[in-house]
Structure 1
Amino acid sequence: MTVRVNGKVVTPNGVIWQGCVELADDRITAVAEYPSVRDGHWIVPGFVDMHTHGGGGHTFTTGDPGQARDAAAFHLRHGTTTLLASLVSSPFELMRDATAAYRPLVREGVLAGVHFEGPYLSTARCGAQNPEFLRDPSTDELTELVELGAGAVRMVTIAPERDGALDAVRLLTAAGVVVAVGHTDATYEQTRAAVAAGASVGTHLFNGMRPVHHREPGPVVALLGAPNVICELVADGVHLHDGTLAFATSTAGPERCALVTDAMAAAGMPDGEYELGGQTVTVADGVARLTRDGAIAGSTLTMDAALRQAVAAGIPMPDAVRMVATTPARAIGLADRVGALQVGMRADLVVLDDDLNVVRVMRAGSWVE
């Protein structure tokens, strides 16, 4: 049975059509332009969030599969049809247990994979990462996790200045795992060395990084200037000023900038106290900060809100759509399956009203309740 969804379709080449998306079963079968269609709704691809720690009161950081299902369901209602479960710095035992617990969810399609944001990070730039668990990269640990995950481990964030970092980058990339540079005090040269070794993502660019200086440009300039690196941007108006968001996008282009939420369990929940990686987080006016020192502790963002923030910052709608779907899908090696309204792709789409609020979400050809 063929289903047709009409509206203003944002196509993979950045053109807005008055037309429709047709699908059968779980696949897109046609994307067509029909100027006579005058439905006011936007039809955009399902969002791809490559960096999220939880939401709706549920977390990915403890390795609990029930919590993971509920967190994924929360973000699905906000249009995120593909996501990685991001953990924070933790003991190896938790990393191993979470990999084993989430492997069935990856096979089932609830998760697109696991992202370890740490523990191989800089103490000086740890942000809300628990300093108790930070350590140098271990190729033995990483080999065990990759083998245990059997494809579930999709991305690891590493600070390239740590001892053994480049060996870890080479090992992971050889195994097909995406390596991101983040929470780092690295120099420009150290960052470029990591990119040369295979790193291809910048974890929440600007945040948790040595700041730019005109005599020591550091990791931000190195990552923005690397043509094969995709830069994550947290578009919540807290992590980045809108001017910085627009600057990064104009510098690297929407094909190299991916919007992420970096959301924690407090996303979609009331202000109050929460937990992240064994540390207390206080959420006030929707902003999450470590209770002990006020460091930004993830976000309460959802991908639909990130899209609205980017458009309000002056990023054209087709570019912003690329940044919430097509670019992150490419960053984590899923561009042949999701992230665009294109024939043969999985039928993931989001219907938005003129204010870019979510009206309906479809995943794999089925409307989400």
Structure 2
Amino acid sequence: AGAVDNASVVINQGHIVNISTDSADIPRHARTLNAEGNLVLPGFIDLHVHGGHGYDVMDGTVEAVHELARHLATHGVTGFLATTVTASLDDTLAIASIVRQASAVPGPGAAILGMHIEGPYINPQRRGAQNPCCIRPPSIAEMERVIEASGNAVRLVTLAPEMPGAHDFIAYLRRRGIIASMGHSDATYEQALAALDVGVSHATHVFNAMRPFAHRDPGIIAAVLTDARPIAELIADGLHVHPGAARLLIKARGPAGVVLVSDAVRGAGLPYGCYRMGGQDIWTSENGARTADGHLAGSLLTLEVALRNVMTWTGLPLHQALAMVSLNQARELGLDSRKGSVEVGKDGDLVICSPTLQVLTTVVGGRVVSPDP
């Protein structure tokens, strides 16, 4: 669908009931938000976000998850997957339970659409900033317990498909309706294709924490660039991935094959300094979020900035680039009948942006959540 000029979007009981260019179609007693001169866009969905504004999913409190949701809403996010890092089983179970509790109570910001379990079933050689102490082979028995603790909220699991037992684990995830993603992986091209054959359908922060591309050893990256099956995450902050590489990915896969993610951490939205993540100190600056030895450790990115960056790098028009922060994510989560675009019948998840894509107002389920009502 394209843009509609000078239209009103009418939301009732949380759903879009009318989109009209006739002001007579606006109910007389409706609360109105004036978006004149601005853009009304579908709310953004972040499939990979750890923290922000001083909070982290791994803090293990309902307050932390809700405050993260509030922070995300200020940047146009209306739904997100609360994302864990590599941790002990006990810690992961505790976080899963917290996310379940946070989801059960209507929060102050973006909706919690489930969990993304990033690690611990990754390759130590490609761990990035993940804690090496807790990395272990995939375990169906463990994942059963995590899913149960979360109240069936696990939507996506990142793992290295070359690890022992990974193929059985991937098949298990698919049976449970959970997205299996390859990431933090040293898989060869052939191993990546084999993983796609058994059910992997997503790739975590492509180019980062994976075997680099070489013309005689093209690795996961070539599989993602040339195979239509995996949806590719991209951290478009200009630090994790060079703009030229980002253009390559989007050119190869098209906007429909890419999802922009923040992979943001606690320090996002706060002054530069030192913050804790996964049991270690993370330093933030204009060079991003980094460990003491200089390795990138998540980002300080927000999705409206990612969207602006990608449009600048690729020249894509807004209506094409927008799918990378909204419809593609909704489709992957099986929520595209309700979310991901501004259409009659869908949830009233909207973001009002200036023409330069500065977030002004965020609406979740017909309720203004940012700025604070």
Aligned equivalent of 2:75:
78
Shift, 1:339, TM fit:
1.2
Is 273-282 or 333-342 further displaced after alignment? 333-342
Q: How does 1:1-369 map to 2 (within 5 A)?
A: 13=1, 15-18=2-5, 19-32=7-20, 39-108=36-105, 110-285=111-286, 287-291=288-292, 293-313=293-313, 314-368=315-369, 369=372
The answer as to whether partners of 1:273 and 1:283 remain within 8 angstroms in 2 is yes
Letter of the 2:94 partner, please give it: D
Q: 1:131 to 1:42 in 2, by over 3 A?
A: same
Is 333-342 or 150-159 further displaced after alignment? 333-342
The answer as to whether partners of 2:49 and 2:83 remain within 8 angstroms in 1 is yes
Distance 1:329 1:243 in 2: 27
SS in 2 for 1:189: helix
C-alpha deviations, 1:280-336, integer Å up to 9, x for none? 111122610011x21100001111111111122123211221101111122222222
Aligned equivalent of 1:4:
none
SS in 2 for 1:270: coil
Aligned residues: 354
Q: 1:123 to 1:321 in 2, by over 3 A?
A: same
The answer as to whether partners of 1:62 and 1:94 remain within 8 angstroms in 2 is no
Is 226-235 or 258-267 further displaced after alignment? 226-235
SS in 2 for 1:132: helix
Distance 1:325 1:38 in 2: 20
Q: 1:198 to 1:107 in 2, by over 3 A?
A: farther
Distance 2:294 2:286 in 1: 14
Distance 1:150 1:64 in 2: 16
Shift, 1:98, TM fit:
0.9
Letter of the 1:294 partner, please give it: G
Shift, 1:32, TM fit:
4.1
Distance 2:60 2:297 in 1: 19
Identity over aligned residues, as a percent?
37
Shift, 1:362, TM fit:
0.9
The answer as to whether partners of 2:353 and 2:359 remain within 8 angstroms in 1 is yes
Letter of the 2:52 partner, please give it: G
SS in 1 for 2:58: coil
Letter of the 1:20 partner, please give it: S
Instruction: Flag structure 2 segments of 5+ consecutive residues without an equivalent.
Output: 23-33
Distance 1:238 1:176 in 2: 33
C-alpha deviations, 1:331-361, integer Å up to 9, x for none? 2222222111112111011111121101111
SS in 2 for 1:111: strand
Aligned equivalent of 1:6:
none
Q: 1:300 to 1:26 in 2, by over 3 A?
A: same
Letter of the 1:26 partner, please give it: G
C-alpha deviations, 1:158-207, integer Å up to 9, x for none? 00011011111111110111111100000111111111111111100111
Distance 1:214 1:332 in 2: 34
Q: 1:63 to 1:195 in 2, by over 3 A?
A: farther
C-alpha deviations, 1:111-130, integer Å up to 9, x for none? 11111100111111111111
Instruction: Flag structure 1 segments of 5+ consecutive residues without an equivalent.
Output: 1-12
Let me know the Cα RMSD of the aligned residues. Answer: 1.8
Q: 1:225 to 1:63 in 2, by over 3 A?
A: farther
Distance 2:362 2:116 in 1: 24
Shift, 1:241, TM fit:
1.5
The answer as to whether partners of 1:286 and 1:300 remain within 8 angstroms in 2 is no
Distance 1:170 1:99 in 2: 22
Shift, 1:66, TM fit:
1.2
SS in 2 for 1:124: helix
Q: 1:92 to 1:129 in 2, by over 3 A?
A: same
Distance 2:35 2:281 in 1: 50
The answer as to whether partners of 1:179 and 1:198 remain within 8 angstroms in 2 is yes
Distance 1:282 1:188 in 2: 34
Distance 2:304 2:35 in 1: 23
